[in-house]
Each structure stands twice: as structure tokens, then as C-alpha cells.
Amino acid sequence: MKSKVLLVLLVIFGSCGVFKNKNMVLNGRATQATLVNNKSYAWFTEEYNSYKPNQALINQLKPLKEDLKVLVVAGSWCGDTQRELPRFFKIINDIGVPEQSIEMIMVDESKKSSALNISVIQVTNIPTFIFFKDGKEQGRIIEKPKTTIEEDICNILGLM
């Protein structure tokens, strides 16, 4: 019986339905520094420091660092975001993508943001990483990568 209740709760809430602390909910535009400089988001620094990207793939991506633009839609309360967002920034920093090339929109538990109506860009699951090159969307990583973030980015950008 307990396992059925747990299964129902997981289906209802999904991986982003578990709130660790409602005071941690960010809403609106944010930057990596927003997360690094606040002790309430210790999960960010812990995951960032522990993630070891594939250096060969990072080296493949480095020549594209100036052309890459990314829109990130994430939730500070979301387990998937707490795993994938620090990894994403570790990769982006290793590549050397300029800070102004990353736009991050944080949503509340209702997946609403004071900065943007995310339904306009057809985002329903978070985190969503939308990659642009020359002003055109190249692809998305939604919730979690198919393999690793760096490999998925290489695939999106046609490097693999």
C-alpha cells in the first residue's frame, strides 16, 4: 500500500514537485551569481564543483563560444534544475561562453515567471535549455539530457 501511495505522489508531483524549502523559490531573471552568492542555494555550488564534464567535448565546443546564445528556463525548487543547472553552467564556463550570452528565467512552482510568459516559447517542463545560433533556435534540452549536457549540446549544434 505504501508503494502505491508513493507511486501516486510521484506521478502527481513529478520530479519537480518536491519542495525542499518554499523560501528558495526564485522568480524572474537571474544569473549564475544569483545562485552562487546565496547560501540558500548551496545545491548549486555542490553540484557545480562535483560535475566533471567530458573535456574532449568541451574542446569541440570552444570555437563556438562567441556564437552561442542560450535561454534557460528553470525552477530553483525543482530537483531536475538542481541537478542540471549547475552542470550546464560548469560546461558553459569551461567553454568560455560570455555571461551576456545566457538568459536565465526562473519560474515559480506554477511554472510562471514575472519576467516572461513561458508558454509563448512553448516551455512546459523545466529545466529547459534552448540553444540559438545566428538568431535561430538549434534545439533544446528538456528536463534532463539524453546522454550528458555537453554531448547533447554537441548534437544540437551538429558537431557529432
Using the predicted structure, report yes or no on whether residue 6 has a pLDDT greater than 50.
no
Half-sphere exposure of 145 (CA within 13 A, CB side): 15
DSSP 1: -
C-alpha span between 125 and 123 (Å, rounded):
6
Question: Residues with Cβ < 8 Å from 30, sequence gap 6 or more?
Answer: 104, 105, 106
Q: pLDDT tens for residues 45-103?
A: 999 999 999 999 999 999 999 999 999 999 999 999 999 999 999 999 999 999 999 99
Q: What pTM value is reported for the model?
A: 0.85
Fold entry, domain 24-156: Glutaredoxin (3.40.30)
Using the predicted structure, report yes or no on whether residue 154 has a pLDDT greater than 70.
yes
Q: pLDDT tens for residues 93-146?
A: 999 999 999 999 999 999 999 888 888 999 999 999 999 988 899 999 999 999
Q: pLDDT confidence of 10, banded at 50, 70, 90?
A: very low
